[in-house]
Amino acid sequence: DRQECVATEENPQVYFCCCEGNFCNEKFTHLPEVTGPEVVYEPPPPNASLLHVVVYSLFPMTALSIAILLAFWMYRHRKPPYGHVDVSEDPSPPPPSPMIGLKPLQLLEVKARGRFGCVWKAQLMNEFVAVKIFPVQDKQSWQSEKDIFNTAGMKHENLLQFIAAEKRGTNLETELWLITAFHDKGSLTDYLKGNVVNWNELCHVAETMAHGLSYLHEDIPWCKGEGHKPAIAHRDFKSKNVLLKNDLTAVLADFGLAVRFEPGKPPGDTHGQVNLQVSLYYFISQI
């Protein structure tokens, strides 16, 4: 249907057109096709969905981990550490002591274990002390020994020096502490296992031990301005419960089974079920 001869395709050798009519190709016209700019294909950006999934998955897990660590850190810092104690928190405070209120008290090492607990060497400020720790089920033993220490007239060079009593922890973690002077040579039993004493040392140990036991048994109506000191029976007197100072002066310790004899009052048997056969030979001398 084209009346004019128009070639659109370009060829270096021949031009071709197609028309209809008489002499339609008499006038030949070349009209090359106009082409637009070359379209450059750009690949689509990488799919970010995987990155989003990873980020959205890790963020809550990281936040939860940080929250757990923060909660644990707060718990540990709010709870008093086991090795430190405020020496002023006693449920029934003992008489005033120059050491009360000083802190921290740092537990160092276990020195002995017994039927009612264990004894630690500890450091209170610049001084070493002994900490006897009772489990909560042995509260009666702790209370009895604390009461004996708090008895008037119990300050004597041959009796263990009492510093403070403590109740530590809550519920199932409760522990009961007695804080006393520390003697590095330990008990008479332990010392004799590794050392040989001469005659003078033997006499000194025996004499100071007898002084302490005699003073413990003595009834003193007015003792050093503190009031009446009743007679006290140790009931577990043995070499294991005798400590030694650096000069081998004997010091009586472990008053968990001791009883007081006060006028008009029967002596309380606070440990009626305790097996005393271990200390029978030492106990007979006090009957």
Active-site positions read 236
Listed in sequence order, the residues at least 6 apart from 61 whose beta carbon sits closer than 8 Å to its beta carbon are: none
Helix, coil or strand: residue 164: strand
How far apart, in Å, are the Cα atoms of 175 and each of 40, 91, 118, 150, 170? 82, 12, 11, 20, 8
CA-closest candidate to residue 215, choices 262, 285, 154 = 154
3-class state of residue 109 by DSSP: strand
User: What span, in angstroms and rounded, lies between the C-alpha atoms of 26 and 83?
Assistant: 117
Beta bridge partners of 107: 122
Q: What are phi and psi of 236, to 5 degrees?
A: -145, 45
How many residues belong to the chain?
287
Contact by Cβ (8 Å): 112, 187: yes
Residue 138 in tokens: 């042995």
3-state secondary structure of 63: helix
DSSP letter at 24 equals G
Q: Which run of H or E residues covers position 178?
A: strand 175-181
Q: Report long-range pairs for 56-62 (Cβ below 8 Å, ≥24 apart).
A: none
Instruction: Determine the Cα–Cα distance for residues 189 and 254; give it in Å rounded to an integer.
Output: 14
